Structure formats: C-alpha cells, structure tokens
Amino acid sequence: MTNPPGLGPHVVGQRVVVRRLVRGETGPTGGPAFTDLLGVMETWADGVTTIRDAEGAVTTIAVGDIVSGKPVPPRPSVRHRVSPEEAELRADAAWRARETERLGDWLLRASGGYSSRANAALAVGDPGTGIDEAAGRVRSFYAARDLPAWAQVVVGSDVHHALESAGWVLARPGEADTLFQVASVAQARRVVRRTLPDVVPPVTLTPACGPAWLADDTRALSHGDDAVGVLEGSAEVGFAAVELDGLVVAKGRVARGGETDDWAGITNVWVSPARRRQGLGTVVVGALLEWAAERGVTTAYLQTRGDNPPALAAYDRLGFVTHHAYRYLTGTAA
C-alpha cells in the first residue's frame, strides 16, 4: 500500500492535518464526501492510523481513505507569550517567602534559609537604581539576616549579564541551570489518564502539610516553622499524599497565587525509593493536576534541574516544555 505523500509512520507523534473519504456519505456536489481532521498522529500500522484531536477524541482512519495530508507546526501556546519575568512573578506567588522587601521591580526574599528561591533576591526587571547600588542593597539585606547574598536571575537576561559584570558568580558552581517548564493542564491530564497504573491507590489532598507529609523531608524538618510557612504560605495550596501501611510513600504540592490566577505550580513531588517505578509519581501528579483543573487553572508549571534527565523525560511525556532557564548568582565574598 502506498502512503499518502507526506504521511507515514515517520510522523507519529507530530501534529498533522488529513483529508479523508467519509464512506457512506455524499458530498454537496453529489460525489464522495470528504472531511478534514487536525490532531496528533498517535499510531500508523497495519493499514490504519489514529489521530487525537484537541479535545482528546481519537479517530481511527484507514490509510486507503486518506486523500491528502501533511505535518503542521505545533499550535502556538499562549503561555509561551508570557515573559520570563511575569512567569517568575507568578511562581513567586505560589512559593511565598516568609519575609519580602521591594527593590524596584526586584523582590528581596528571606525564609530562614529554607529553599533557595525563598532566600534569594528575585532579580527580574528594573531595580530602580544602578546595578552597583542594587547589588549593595541585596548584600545588606542578606547580611542583616545572616544569609548569603544570592540572586535568582533569568539566564541570558540583562540583569544576569549586569550582575556578572559587577563581579557576581555562580552560587552553586558545577550545577546545571534550573528549567522553568510549562504545560497545558488539560493536555497533561489526558496523558495522565492514559498512563495511570492498573491499580490506582487512593490519594488524599489537604490544605496543610502535616507531620506524615513532612516525615521524609529532612530539609524541611530542619527548618521548622520557616519551612511550613513557605510550604503553606500561598493563597491556595494543596498537599497530595499516597499512604500505604501507615506511611506516606508518594507526595506532592500544588499552589497558585489567588482565586484569579490561572497558573499553578507543582513542587515537592517525591516517591519513596522502595516504591519507585510503580506509577505512584504519575498518580500524585495526576491528583495535583485535578486540583488545578477544579479551580479553572489552565497552565501548570514546575522547575526541574537541567541535569535530571529522568525527571525531564517524565515531564516531557506529560507535555511540559521549557519556558526559560534560571540560575543563582552570589555576591557574598568568599
């Protein structure tokens, strides 16, 4: 059987448009009826192909009924038109530091040392003063709190280059940049439904992180109230947990900045080493996405280190793509 030009098994996974014959129907001119279908080709084998449209419906088409077709570019994403600066501000609202102070557009953040993001200046936009004065203000803020002077910068931004020119260096040498990744909540939920394990354990979702949820998080436990304050500090937050034999074996957190925020951040996804490769991570992420969907959230985001291939591959399967990268610089003297 000859494949229609431009189509075949080599385009499985790509977005395509096909024109096909509709058997048993007559077209407006009295001849055969044809219809067009736009979607992602999922399979091509044994003389048939399957295409999933934007609503998630799958259509099976006999290759012999295809009149024409071709791959088409991915649909432009509205979320990718959001600037890195705006995306970082949205993320800040879902991971609130215990203490903040404005410096123009910058945001100085401190939380007793719990988490890098909650203890680094969010250096995006205009600090409202020269870079040397701004850097000095950052140093003074963190020195007063007995914390190292760190700044979170968007890789390649003007602020990134300006701070490096002012002598700031990598805060964590040898560590890959963090990738800020975004996905459609609806699309990710569809993928999760298709990849859940045969037996799905119950997931609890609560608005607070209790002792059981925190039990395996030595970093959070060592920071006490500061950690709980950051974890629970967002306007809306949910803590998912899978509990087996009285222990939390998989968990995650989801949050957004307020009732009108249509972005939600997924953080703290963890599976017990003894329970990995059983689909529990997918179960947890699915529950976090459901929490977001119930609140009208359209965009999910997460932050993943660039040197974590397993996590990047897992999130890629859910439709997460990199929006921008960020890193931490320090101006603290050695």
CATH 3.40.630.30 domain locations along the chain: 179-323
What is the DSSP annotation of 82-125? S-HHHHHHHHHHTS--SEEEEETTEEEEESTT-SSGGGSEE--S
| Burial degree of 92 (CB within 10 A; 0-12, 13-18, 19+) | buried
Query: Residue 204: how many CB atoms within 10 A of its CB?
Result: 15
Residue 49 has pLDDT above 60, yes or no: yes
| Burial degree of 110 (CB within 10 A; 0-12, 13-18, 19+) | buried
Residue 146 has pLDDT above 50, yes or no: yes
Calculate the CA 304 to chain-centre distance. 8
Instruction: State which fold the 9-71 domain adopts.
Output: SH3 type barrels. (2.30.30)
Structure-block tokens of residue 159: 């602020």
Q: Read off the pLDDT band of 75 (50, 70, 90).
A: low
Query: What is the average per-residue pLDDT within 136-149?
Result: 97
Residue 166 has pLDDT above 50, yes or no: yes
Residues ≥6 apart with Cβ < 8 Å to 265? 90, 91, 94, 95, 254, 255, 256, 300, 301, 302
Instruction: State which fold the 179-323 domain adopts.
Output: Aminopeptidase (3.40.630)
CATH 2.30.30.520 domain locations along the chain: 9-71
Q: What is the pLDDT of residues 278-295, one digit of tens each?
A: 899 999 999 999 999 999
**pTM to 2 decimals?**
0.77
Task: With beta carbons less than 8 A apart as the criterion, state whether 184 and 319 touch.
Answer: yes
Determine the Cα–Cα distance for residues 177 and 154; give it in Å rounded to an integer: 10
Nearest by Cα to 88 from 297, 265, 238: 265
Residue 2 has pLDDT above 80, yes or no: no
Mean pLDDT of the chain: 92
Q: Read off the pLDDT band of 334 (50, 70, 90).
A: very low
